[in-house]
Amino acid sequence: MADILLLSTSPLAAERVRRTVQRECAGGVSHTVRAARGWAELTAWASASAAAVAFVDPWHGGAFAALEIRRLRERAPAVEVVALADFTGRPAADAFSLAMLGVREMVCTARGAGPAELVRCLREHLNRGPLEEMVDALAALVPASVHRWLGPALRTHSASPTVPDLARTAGCSARTLRRALQAAELPTPEQLLSWGRLLHAARLLDDGRSADSVARALAFSSGSALRKSLKQVTGLSPRELAAGGGLRLLAALFLCQCGGVAAAPPERQLAA
């Protein structure tokens, strides 16, 4: 189950999204559409929930919302953002800007935003990214009582997360959390927090962001601190991570830490 976020000024477009999601839920998997009233609410929901996709009107509020979209991508890097709007008469530069901001899908409502196009977007992005695939695979490696809270914790990012924060997510004390993880032969709470931050960092690095830019977005003290954390946890530099598959490689390494099959080593022969 995942949240599908929506920010649209068009009631018709919003209704098409809801109907498409209802059809996709017919197989028994329930997804929830949450319609935000503005960019601030949308970003808050995206950064605090297990949202998978956000359908947004880039011109919600009037002008092209480049700053708001950038903030959404930084605060919720695991959320796929789909631009859902009438692009008729809009500057071509806006579409280019959307691509540069990491918006990979654009659905034009002037073409009817037919069910087939929306279904394709949902099936391609909903629960099918490397992070969601990793969470799915994790279910076979950890107790169900742990997967219940660890999955959502890994999907979402909060600035400077702490062990007490993780314990609250798990619904227990920090001491009980440590005992449960130790009994399951899983990484410590501190290690899980490090892995979680790095998984979201890898997603941004996959988007072509610099280590310094990613560090600012995820509350590392500097790009050097991000590189150091990545090296300590995985033995890889950002360039080696990218060469070995980026987020997919990091997800495989995390599953290995949780008892899965070891990932293939990354390609070390990097261009100078």
Q: pLDDT digit of tens for each residue in the chain (272 aa)?
A: 567 899 998 888 888 888 877 776 544 456 778 899 999 999 988 876 656 789 999 999 889 999 999 999 888 776 788 898 888 888 889 988 998 888 878 888 776 555 567 777 776 665 456 887 898 899 999 999 999 999 888 877 666 789 998 999 899 999 999 999 999 999 999 999 999 999 988 887 886 778 888 888 788 889 999 999 999 999 999 889 988 889 989 999 999 999 865 444 444 333 33
Question: What's the pTM value of the predicted model, to 2 decimals?
Answer: 0.59
C-alpha–C-alpha distance, residues 151 and 169, integer Å:
10
C-alpha–C-alpha distance, residues 23 and 256, integer Å:
36
DSSP state of 186: -
pLDDT of residue 264: 47
C-alpha–C-alpha distance, residues 112 and 12, integer Å:
10
CA triple 170-164-201, angle to 5 deg: 85
Backbone angles phi, psi at 24, to 5 degrees: -70, -20
CA triple 136-234-231, angle to 5 deg: 140
Domains of the chain: 3-125 (3.40.50.2300), 130-257 (1.10.10.60)
pLDDT in tens, 152-195: 888 776 667 899 989 998 999 999 999 999 999 999 999 999 99
Other beta carbons within 10 Å of 17: 25
